[in-house]
């Protein structure tokens, strides 16, 4: 939400929502995410973050995030 407010340069809720819906990407705690939901819900209000995968290699746990 903060990223949408900063990009819209206003606290006007209609402008912030429009900005958020049209953002191609945004930063999440897991890395770069993107807006989605149009196909399923008919509106871009779902933040789709990277997919996290964990694996054990050589006795160590490794975490990787993949963007779709």
Q: What is the pLDDT of residues 8-65, one digit of tens each?
A: 999 999 999 999 888 888 888 878 888 888 888 988 888 888 888 898 989 999 988 7
Q: Yes or no: say if 20 and 11 are a contact pair by the CB < 8 Å rule.
A: no
pLDDT of residue 68: 61
- Return the pLDDT at 19: 93
| Higher per-residue pLDDT: 35 or 68 | 35
CA-to-CA separations, 62 to 28, 33, 38, 52, in angstroms, rounded = 20, 21, 33, 10
What pLDDT was estimated at residue 31? 82
Per domain, the residue ranges of the chain are 2-66
From residue 7, give the alpha-carbon distance in Å to each of 2, 41, 45, 57, 62.
9, 24, 16, 41, 34
Contacts of 14 (CB under 8 A, 6+ apart): none
């Amino acid at each position: 939400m903060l990223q949408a407010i900063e990009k819209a340069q206003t606290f006007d809720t209609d402008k912030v929502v429009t900005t958020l819906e049209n953002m191609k990407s945004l930063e999440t705690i897991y890395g770069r995410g993107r807006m989605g939901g149009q196909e399923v819900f008919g509106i871009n209000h779902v933040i789709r973050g990277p997919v996290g995968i964990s694996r054990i290699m050589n006795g160590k746990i490794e975490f990787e995030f993949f963007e779709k």
